[in-house]
Structure 1
Amino acid sequence: MTKEDKLNEKVLNLDKDKIKEKVLTFVNREILSRLDVRQEKSTLAELLPQLHALGTADALELEEQLYLYWRWSVLGLLASCVYDPSFVPPPEGFKDVSEDEKILAQFALKVGDLELPQGHFKAKLYQKDPQVWGNTSLARLELEYEFFLSFKGTYFYSLRDWQNNLKQARGEPSAYYAQAKLLGEKVKASGKGHLLYCLGHSLGGGLAATFAQVAGVETTTFNAAGVHPSTIKEEANLSKIEALYLPGELLQEAQDFSYEQENFLGLGQVHWQSKIPSQVGKTRALDLAVGYTSLDKHFMLTLNKGFKSKLKQLQEQAQVLLFNSKK
């Protein structure tokens, strides 16, 4: 190979690396709506104290909204990366410690507990990176907890996932939900549940809610599957579960669907109510202008896009409010 050929090959490889970097940047920012956590924290660390000091009703409302959508933005990314860790790594500021025996032992867990040999059940344990977190004086901005347990939702092509969805909807025994309960019992027995925050989307939201009721840990779910009354005999710790949903999304509409009309003989009303279990916890509708269809509104990709856009919108509103207050 001549020197010219070697030089051309080197240039070609450099071009490939640049193209790959640009593609990954585009995927992360535009498709996955990932955040620059350090930058967002820095921006909010400036805005939130100023809004609080301003003290007007509008300023305090913006302060609260900024905090909430910041929090949901980060949690939403953690609920997303559990689906395919090889393609979607944890967001900036978190590392996957699902196979760290020492850390798992703190919660009375062991390697292998977060997956099932037969099935597609999966959960991941993430730990905050101290180089990214803990460098501001605002405790709420730092998300407070050190560890985050994320449950995977339905993988579209997984028959096992759909079987467990149907079993749960009918109130039949489900291996996935049994495992979520077992994990909850172990974490509760460890006495370290206060170090852990739980989350999940769709099927993962139902599993997270089941885990939370047993373990008694703070939890956020996104467009969550419901939990059948037969799964948890005595509902507990529901106040610890924050159940977020996007109005009009497919699963929530199916859970709430009802039908009523006059009997065709004119002999009273015909009424039908969906028997799909509803999501549990303190439900809260999200104010996000995203999603074209009820199916589209269900996915975490859509929610994450909405969270990122909403956070930017709120930051711009805060900057305008603070600017006008100085006139």
Structure 2
Amino acid sequence: MTTFVLYLALVLAALTGSAAAQNYPSRPITLIIPGPPGGPGDMVGRVLIERMKASLGQPLVMENVAGANGTLATARAVRAAPDGYTLLLGNWNSQVGASAVYPVTYDVLADLEPIAMATFSRLWLVGRAAFPPNNVAELIAWMKANPGKASVATVGQGSASHICGVYFQNATGTQFQFVFYRGGAPAYQDLVAGHIDLMCAERSATVEHLRAGKIKAFGLLAEKRWAAAPEVPTMEESGVPGAHIPWLQGFWAPKGTPRDIIAKLNAAVAEALADPAVHQRLTDFGLDVAPDNERTPEALRAFQAAETEKWWPVIKAAGARPE
């Protein structure tokens, strides 16, 4: 009798879960953005949520959670109910680099369910408009003549911008001061205002400042030049091989979210990215839309694991510590 009751309970739970997935979503969905308003996550989120609303039949409401290089936002998603109503639009910082530095209470690879990769971008080394050097060679010479005097913005310890800066120091034998920010947007503001000298910035979030002449670009950390700013050389061309950090953005859900719901969300992301208008807007921002074969949950899980294996030793060797 006990076995039968247990079996019946399991069957009812499965039927209930299946019904919930079939009716999903029946109310608005919260999309957590790791960072303050105005950053790269905002740009991608605002483009995608309108198109996903059309697919899902419910709005997605963005919630910005800044601090600790995205770990606060990730922790918020980990703690949420696994019902598909709280999602995370994570990035390289929050899903790869940060948990190598911060004493988090979760396993970044195991405690979230990957849904879909959305976009990739690249970093480039940019500086305030009035900074004396105009190319990488001049920058290295200036830094060697003025050791430790340049200020370099970074979005937290262990972030892509931080590791890019560490890499540049090691590759060129230069020294400078890191200044840590809670998010990209305030760092970009200080760079444009001339309060900070340099930053390894995400290109899509800063390209308009470059076009307006508010900042200057020294080199792109990529294998080839970017068609949207072909005048900016790669770091290889400038004699400094780049770190080539692929700055990803993708969707995750709390661990235990039903597979049917993950599949619905994956389909909604895929439909949004396949929309020509959405694709064009993301491309105009300077982002590369993830190709079809990299949008599956399995592909996102594998990519995140590979990036973690590659960069955690570099981050730890840099001595990154929570600020």
Q: What's the TM-score, normalizing by structure 1?
A: 0.23
Question: Highest CA radius of gyration, 1 or 2?
Answer: 1
Higher RCO, Cα 8 Å, sep 6+: 2
Q: Which has the higher strand share?
A: 2
